[in-house]
Structure 1
Amino acid sequence: MQISSFGTRRPSRAERWAPSIYFVVGQLGWFACVLSAAHDVPWMGVATAVMLVAIHLARVERPLTEFKLLVSVVAMGAIWESLPVLGGLLAYPNGMILPGAAPYWILSLWALFAAQFNTTFGWLKQRALLASVLGAIAGPMSFRAGAALGAVRFVHPLPAMILLAIGWAILMPLLIVFSRRWDGVH
């Protein structure tokens, strides 16, 4: 952090680029998890995600606080991701440990996603309505992309997309509340 001639705090170059870097790294992690799951080697994506999350936790100001966010988001993701499976709307070709539950590899996606809330998505913290709209659009789009790559299959496409849109419209603002409570980055 640098101090300007007026005594105000200016973010360093690394701080200014951090949201963009986290976004790109998050997308690379998403592709690693989804493509490895689609090719029946989901452990490779999980290993990538674990490494990226470990680097994230090593770099934040308050790793324990940030870890609480990650654990909370992953737990919520485990419950949420299991609902469309239990409802017969989505099917995963591999990575299922418990019948009707989300595959283990998708939980690593949730950890990567959580690591972006206090970095990439920090600008959404005061914009709950926008977060809801973005969730309703981007959530189903992410699943559609995962299906196109072979990591998930829509058993009943229209009901699944509707459920995903509604669920993500609720989840995004809720996740923002979590990220405000457990912000280990700032």
Structure 2
Amino acid sequence: MTVTILINFLLFQASWLACVLSGAHGWPLLGIAVVAIVVGYHLVRAHRPWAEAALLALAGAIGAFWDGQLVGHGWLIYPSGVFAQWLAPSWIIAMWVAFATTLNVSLRWLRGRAGWALLFGAIGAPLAYYAGARLGGVQFADPLIALLAVAAGWMLITPVLVALAGRLDGFRPAATPANAEPRPSIEVREHV
């Protein structure tokens, strides 16, 4: 399981970097293609891919709306991929989908820990946006206001995403049918 967690974490990091760099250089489709490959791999590994796909779609929709609000209010300025004024750029939506691939794997530890999820979003998201700005993927009209808005939004959104992931956990094995015969167990007895 540790290898699966590590692979999931590294694939998200690769997706994040691909999206930021491709968005910064005006090639947003390149980052989206990387995310599509990562999502394909992720769904193939899931026990219940439809549940996991629903989670990824919901995260993308939440991200499209939330980042769209930040763009619409002028707090964030993206160099490419913007197709509607109050909607996040395409590569940012892809990044939200990529982030959702971690919720039932490498970030599973946040489940049942709302305080940690809140803290993770409040600190981790502004750091990621700041790093994205350093790489040219985003500009802040007012850095303090923008990063505070990012922190506030992610502080609320992260626990919601973690809760959704618990309900739409595609990595939880499918339930055994009620009429299935139980597997025989091996009994170990100690001889004295």
TM-score, with length taken from structure 1:
0.90
CA distance in 1: counterparts of 2:51 and 2:87, whole angstroms: 27
In the alignment, is residue 52 of structure 1 matched against residue 24 of structure 2? no
Pairs aligned (count) = 172
Give the aligned partner of residue 75 of structure 1. 61
Give the aligned partner of residue 146 of structure 1. 132
**SS of 1:126's equivalent?**
coil
Higher gyration radius (CA)? 2
Amino acid at match of 1:81: D
* Moved >3 Å (runs of 4+): none
In the alignment, is residue 33 of structure 1 matched against residue 19 of structure 2? yes
Amino acid at match of 1:78: A
Which of 70, 80, 94 aligns to 1:84? It is: 70
CA distance in 2: counterparts of 1:101 and 1:137, whole angstroms: 24
Relative to total residues, which structure has the larger helix share, 1 or 2? 1
In the alignment, is residue 63 of structure 1 matched against residue 54 of structure 2? no
Shift of 1:158: 1.0
Shift of 1:16: 2.5
CA distance in 1: counterparts of 2:28 and 2:65, whole angstroms: 20
CA distance in 1: counterparts of 2:126 and 2:2, whole angstroms: 30
Give the aligned partner of residue 10 of structure 1. none
CA distance in 1: counterparts of 2:15 and 2:74, whole angstroms: 27
TM-score, with length taken from structure 2:
0.87
CA distance in 2: counterparts of 1:52 and 1:16, whole angstroms: 18
In the alignment, is residue 132 of structure 1 matched against residue 118 of structure 2? yes
Give the aligned partner of residue 180 of structure 1. 166
In the alignment, is residue 110 of structure 1 matched against residue 123 of structure 2? no
CA RMSD of aligned residues (A): 0.8
% identical equivalent positions: 40
Amino acid at match of 1:129: G
CA distance in 1: counterparts of 2:2 and 2:144, whole angstroms: 40
Shift of 1:98: 1.1
CA distance in 1: counterparts of 2:72 and 2:2, whole angstroms: 42
Stretches of structure 2 that go unaligned for 5 or more consecutive residues are: 173-192
Amino acid at match of 1:118: N
